[in-house]
Amino acid sequence: MTIAIFLGALIGAIALGIPIAYSLLLTGLALMWHMDLFDAQILAQNVLEGANSFPLLAVPFFMLAGEIMNVGGLSKRIVNLALTLVGHVQGGLGFVTILAAVMMASLSGSAVADTAALAALLLPMMVKAGHNKARAGGLIATAGIIAPIIPPSIPFVIFGVAANVSIGKLFMAGVVPGLMMGAAIAITWWIVARREGASTPPKATRSEQWKALRESTWALVLPVIVLVGLKFGVFTPTEAAVVAAVYAFFVATVVYRELKWDQLYHVFTGAAKTTAIIMFLVAAASVSAWLITVAQLPQQLIELLQPFMDSPTLLLVIIMLLILVIGMAMDLTPTILILAPVLVPVVQAAGIDPVYFGVLFVMNGAIGLVTPPVGTVLNVVAGVGRMKIDQVAKGVLPFMFAQIGVLFLLVFFPQLVLAPLRWFYS
């Protein structure tokens, strides 16, 4: 009965068009009423405590780092480096998109920010070269969702806080899956681009390649600093976010000198607005998370899924299919906040590593960013490229199926995630 009330209140509120954060609060109120625990003081206390988390401080600083990179010229130089390296091959601009997306993912961790930058810089070039606009937009969208998987990752921070899982281990476990997602769409692009016969930019000279590498070195050093710092315990993931923001600010203002003082207001307010949305969601979800624990919903769900508990792979397949469907109607952050506290105890009871599950969960939710009707990243590409969302959705399909293939490959072969993680922490 408790599960039915939780799902009914949440789905009903969302169906009425109530924003997700308020839907979560209403769901918490419904559970309080059902359990005869209603107390305004408890409600307020959980909302405040939900946002009062040291690990969550990583969110505003990673958002700020991403804003600075886009305005301060770091993203532009990474795209230019990718262009000089692989732009001349058949379908080269597509490979530039993928390579740039992987490199940018290691800087910001925001799918929306990376996709907006890639679409603004590369979509006009791809269309001018003769590539199908919808397919090019679909490639950019699926390349953009690599950002939540390769560290640093804002969704990993949120998952770690919501499910009480090590954020540092989530960061390290995401490296190989993120690269596999990039490789999957690169192979798919190689297949589809051969039929288009689009023109390619001239091959860059060795001096042009070295120049692009020198100019982008300052940007490329950042992920090295973050990964090495985490590996040797120099700083926590939260402190890594501060390092990333300060380093990006230094490079953008002192080295590249593209970030002007009069732009700082817009940079800070942009990061603050996005952070406020995420933090309000987290605060609202904490009420439901507390009540989920009190009502022992994970234990009830374990009982319902008992027939599958002896087969972890089958259980994961069922959960991944469920998240795929939910991801079509819900954004990544609320999906994590709603489902992670419920599902993590279930997979742990089945003997599944919670870090491994967290990587699969975030990958799955990231794919939901390019599925209609919600598809936040789809809307970004459609807006920047001035296309209808159904056009972009059609262009996304071959690349999205390739990434879903990677997801289920990791379901059946967990060592692809766990072995590199053990090596890193050995």
Look at residue 204 in the predicted model and tell me its pLDDT: 82
Burial class (CB in 10 A: 0-12, 13-18, 19+), 195: exposed
Whether the Cβ atoms of residue 401 and residue 407 lie closer than 8 Å to each other: no
Look at residue 407 in the predicted model and tell me its pLDDT: 96
Q: What is the pLDDT along the chain (426 residues), one digit of tens a residue?
A: 666 777 787 778 877 878 878 888 888 888 788 777 777 777 777 777 777 777 888 888 888 888 888 788 887 888 888 888 887 777 788 888 998 888 888 777 778 878 888 888 888 888 888 888 999 999 999 999 998 999 888 899 999 988 989 998 999 899 999 999 999 999 999 988 877 766 677 788 888 889 988 888 888 888 888 878 877 778 888 888 888 889 989 999 988 888 888 888 998 998 888 888 888 888 887 777 777 777 776 677 777 777 788 889 999 999 999 899 888 877 888 889 888 888 999 899 999 999 999 999 999 999 989 987 667 888 888 888 888 888 888 999 999 999 999 999 999 999 999 998 888 876
Using alpha carbons, select from 390, 353, 420 the residue that is nearest to residue 163. 353
Structure token digits, residue 220: 């490329």
Look at residue 223 in the predicted model and tell me its pLDDT: 82
The helix (H) or strand (E) run that includes residue 336 is helix 332-349
Look at residue 400 in the predicted model and tell me its pLDDT: 94
**Can you state the angle between helices 74-86 and 58-72, rounded to 10 degrees?**
60
Cα separation values, 226 from 113, 214, 220, 247, 348, Å: 19, 20, 11, 11, 29
**What's the whole-model pTM score?**
0.85
Look at residue 197 in the predicted model and tell me its pLDDT: 66
